[in-house]
Structure 1
C-alpha cells in the first residue's frame, strides 16, 4: 500500500476538526480547509508496469482561520442552569440496553413491547375501540345550541321512518291473519301513502338547508372567501333535492340518501380545509348516520310490502294527469268550436235558401 501526502495528512485533519468540536479553544473556532491540488506524475520502471496507470500526487495545504465568537452566539446563555445540569447524576436504565439499542431509540424497545402487550390484550383493544365510538357520538366539542337543534332536526325523520316500519308490519300482519294488529290493512295503507310526501318533502328541505350553510359560511368569511367553489355546494344541493319529490317514494328516498352522503363528504372536506369549524365533520357524521339509518329502515319496510299495496299516483302522475286533462279540454273546445262553426254555416245556408225562395215567390206573383 502506497501512502501519499494526502493519505498521511487526512488523520491530522480529522484530529484538528475533532479538537475544534470538543472546545479545546473556547474563544476561537478552528476550521480546517482541505485544499487538494492533484498533479499527474508519470512513473517509470516496474511501478508503472504494475499499476498500468499514472499515480496522482496530492499536495495538502492547511489554512487555519480563527474568528472570535460574536456576542449573539452566547446571548441568552444560562450558566447556572448549565452548572446544575452538569452536577446532575445520570439515572441508570438497564432495561433499555440491548443488542439493538444502538440502532434504535432508547425507548423504542419499551414502546414495541408495550404495543405487543396491547395487541395481545384483546379486551384492551375492544375497550379502546368502544371508547373511540363513545368519543365520536358524545360530540363534546360541538356547541350545545347546535347539538340540540341538530338532534331535534332528525326527529321528524325518525318519526316517519318508525311509522313506515310499523305500518308495513301491520299490513303484513293483516295479510297473514285477515286483519291488522291495531289498524286495518286499508287504514294502514292510507296512512303509509300519507307519510310518503311528508318524508320526501322534509328530506328535500334538509338537503337544501345543508347546502345553504355553506353560503352562510362564505358570507361570514369563515376560512376566507372561497367564491364559486363554496357557493356551488349550496346550488348543487338544492338542484338535487327538490326534483326527488317528483319521483316514486323508493327512488326518491334512494336519491336523497345519495345526496346526504355527498353533502357529508363535502362538509368533511370543508372542515379539513378550514372552510368550516373543526367539529363540523364529526357533527355531520352523527346526523348523517341517523338520517341514513332512517332512510334504509324506510326502504326495507316498503320492500317487504311491495306486492301487498297499490301504488298511489305520485306528483309526476298527477302532473301527467293534469296535462292529459288539459289536452282533452283543448280537443273538446276545438271540437265544440268546429261544431259551432258548422252550425253557423248551416244556418247561413238555410237563411240564403229561404231568401231565394221568397224572391222566387215574389217573381211569380
Structure 2
C-alpha cells in the first residue's frame, strides 16, 4: 500500500476515541430537549459548555505541538500564538451567559476545524487528520447548535 493511502486512512484508535469524545456533547445537548434520567438540563448545559472549552483547549494543544516543527521563527511564533486562541475562547465561553457562550464555542470549533483541514490540505498535517477533524467538528458543532436552539426556543 502506498504511503499516501496509509497517511490518508484515519487510524482506528483516533477515530474511535474521537467519536466517543462526541458523547458528552450529544448527551448534554439532548438533555436540553428531552428529560434524561441521568442528566438534567442545567447540568447538561454546563457539560456542553465546559466540555467544549476543554476540547477547544485540547485542539489548541495539538496545534502547539505541531508548531514545534521545522518552521522559521516568524512562522513558529504565529503558529504558537494562534494555537492558544481556542483555549482563550473556551475560557471566555465558560464565563459568558449561555447563549453567547455557545455561540463563541460554535465559532471557535468552526475556525479550529477550518484551520486543521486547510493545514492538512496544504500538507502541514497528515491527510487523515483533516478528515478526522471534519467529522469531529461536524459532530461538536451540531451538538452545540442543538443546545443553542433549545435555549433560543424556550
Matched, 1:232 2:100: no
- Paired residue total: 143
Stretches of structure 1 that go unaligned for 5 or more consecutive residues are 1-139, 168-181, 306-365
Matched, 1:304 2:153: yes
CA shift, 1:230, in A, is: 1.6
Stretches of structure 2 that go unaligned for 5 or more consecutive residues are 1-7
How far apart are the structure 1 equivalents of 2:145 and 2:124?
30
Bigger helix fraction: 2
Aligned to 2:3: none
Matched, 1:159 2:8: no
Aligned to 2:15: 147
Matched, 1:264 2:132: no
How far apart are the structure 2 equivalents of 1:196 and 1:151?
20
2:142 to 282, 285, 293: 293
Larger radius of gyration: 1
Q: Please tell me whether the aligned partners of residues 28 and 44 of structure 2 are also in contact (alpha carbons under 8 angstroms).
A: yes
TM-score after normalising by structure 2:
0.84
How far apart are the structure 2 equivalents of 1:303 and 1:218?
39
How far apart are the structure 1 equivalents of 2:49 and 2:108?
12
Deviating above 3 A after TM superposition, structure 1's stretches of 4 or more consecutive aligned residues are: none
Q: Please tell me whether the aligned partners of residues 53 and 93 of structure 2 are also in contact (alpha carbons under 8 angstroms).
A: yes
How far apart are the structure 2 equivalents of 1:155 and 1:195?
12
How far apart are the structure 1 equivalents of 2:115 and 2:76?
15
How far apart are the structure 2 equivalents of 1:241 and 1:194?
18
Bigger strand fraction: 1
